[in-house]
């Protein structure tokens, strides 16, 4: 009997375990210094019907400046050698946050048949800007403006405002909340998802600081440090558009209150593990060859090439189609089936036979 080789794929824990999410996590308001640093290079584009909402636009701009961002308004564009539509869409592209103010009027449609505000809104979505929209508390809205508002509310919360002061306060609060979310990004380590307060990537070493409120996530993070029998967990860590494999080398926990724990995780960047599928060869025959041989034996009565080598079990398939195998009609068409239907059946069977275990 010739060599019998087999290797099995080992699944990582993150592939077989469900996600555990720290749903109680909340982005903490950043310090004044952190907020100022975050806002220093940010631009907020203010979009609305200018003639109707002039005072509201100024109030929104005041809220933007209070946080430290630069407001971008059509009134302040200055002279341009481009047409107005190209000018404001270019300014949308150069901004980080879109602030929309919706009132009673829709505005004069452009060649695109959208109003300038509507065109700016859609362009901001295409450019993946952070979106923040407010609507005037009124029941006297034009039909197209109501349709536009319905579109916005399908995807975003568009709170009402009752006065310019109310709008200024809401804009300021919303920008601070966006800053908190940006400065406390979601982080995924293996099958655990939580908010990080700080992530430092030094190339070969990653350090993560996080406040965790969910008990299940906290326990799972502590278990990643390993013990005297098992070294730290190796898992993929993903955050802010980056993703690496790393080994957990340290888990430091500080209990700050009854409902939260501060974690400091130390990780060493590791090589990407090469997952290998189920591989088995017998006398040089691949899993596909073994499956096809088994199907030919069962469906067409062909002798198994492994029976005389005491390896017939490798191509055994329990099948209830023995009567079909004896059918003269089927036997007469065996050549056709061997090259067409058998190949289809082989591929189907191979999916099951070659599944990871």
- Helix (H/G/I), strand (E/B), else coil: 337: helix
Instruction: Tell me the CA end-to-end span of the chain in Å, nearest whole number.
Output: 26
pLDDT (0 to 100) of residue 355: 47
H and E: helices and strands count for the chain: 13, 14
CA atoms of 117 and 46, how far apart (whole Å): 9
Domain of 247 in residue numbering reads as 9-24+185-269
Tell me whether residue 318 is in a domain: yes
What is the enclosing helix (H) or strand (E) of 16? Answer: helix 13-16
The residue among 158, 183, 208 that closes a domain is 183
Q: How many domains does the chain have?
A: 3
| Whether 18 and 38 share a structural domain | no
| Whether 136 and 38 share a structural domain | yes
Tell me whether residue 47 is in a domain: yes
| Largest Cα–Cα separation, the chain | 92
| Whether 260 and 325 share a structural domain | no
| Whether 117 and 164 share a structural domain | yes
> Which whole number is the average pLDDT over 319-329?
48
pLDDT in tens, 30-83: 888 989 999 998 999 999 999 999 999 999 999 999 999 999 998 776 555 556
| Whether 67 and 17 share a structural domain | no
pLDDT in tens, 77-104: 655 555 667 878 999 999 999 999 999 9
Is residue 249 predicted with pLDDT exceeding 60?
A: yes
- Residue 185 — very low, low, confident or very high, per pLDDT cuts 50/70/90? confident
Tell me whether residue 346 is in a domain: yes
Strands of 229-315, DSSP E = 234-239, 242-257, 260-269, 279-282
**Which of the pair, 162 or 310, is modelled with greater confidence?**
162
| Whether 36 and 158 share a structural domain | yes
Tell me whether residue 2 is in a domain: no
Which of 32-46, 122-136, 216-230 shows the lowest per-residue confidence on average (mean pLDDT)?
A: 216-230
């Amino acid at each position: 009997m010739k060599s019998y080789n087999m290797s099995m794929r080992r699944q990582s824990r993150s592939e077989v375990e469900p996600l555990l999410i720290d749903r109680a996590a909340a982005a903490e308001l950043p310090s004044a210094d952190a907020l100022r640093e975050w806002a220093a290079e940010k631009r907020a584009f203010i979009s609305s019907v200018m003639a109707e909402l002039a005072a509201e636009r100024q109030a929104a701009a005041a809220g933007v400046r209070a946080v430290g961002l630069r407001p971008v308004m059509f009134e302040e564009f200055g002279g341009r050698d481009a047409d107005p539509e190209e000018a404001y869409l270019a300014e949308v592209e150069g901004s980080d946050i879109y602030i929309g103010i919706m009132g009673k009027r829709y505005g004069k449609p452009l060649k695109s048949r959208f109003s300038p505000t509507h065109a700016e809104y859609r362009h901001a979505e295409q450019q993946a800007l952070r979106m923040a929209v407010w609507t005037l508390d009124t029941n006297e809205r034009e039909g197209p403006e109501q349709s536009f508002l319905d579109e916005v509310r399908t995807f975003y919360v568009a709170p009402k405002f009752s006065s310019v002061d109310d709008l200024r306060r809401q804009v300021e609060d919303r920008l601070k909340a966006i800053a908190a979310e940006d400065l406390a990004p979601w982080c995924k380590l293996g099958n655990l998802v939580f908010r990080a307060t700080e992530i430092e990537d030094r190339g070969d070493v990653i350090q993560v600081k996080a406040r965790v409120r969910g008990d299940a996530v906290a326990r799972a993070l502590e278990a990643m440090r390993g013990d005297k029998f098992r070294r730290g967990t190796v898992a993929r860590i993903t955050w802010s558009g980056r993703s690496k494999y790393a080994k957990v080398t340290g888990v430091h926990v500080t209990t700050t209150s009854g409902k939260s724990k501060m974690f400091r995780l130390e990780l060493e960047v590791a090589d990407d593990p090469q997952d290998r599928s189920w591989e088995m060869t017998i006398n040089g025959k691949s899993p596909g060859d073994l499956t096809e041989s088994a199907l030919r034996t069962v469906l067409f009565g062909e002798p198994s090439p492994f029976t005389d080598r005491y390896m017939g079990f490798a191509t055994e398939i329990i099948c209830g189609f023995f009567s079909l195998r004896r059918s003269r009609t089927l036997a007469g068409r065996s050549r056709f089936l061997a090259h067409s239907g058998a190949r289809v059946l082989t591929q189907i069977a191979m999916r099951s036979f070659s599944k990871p275990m």
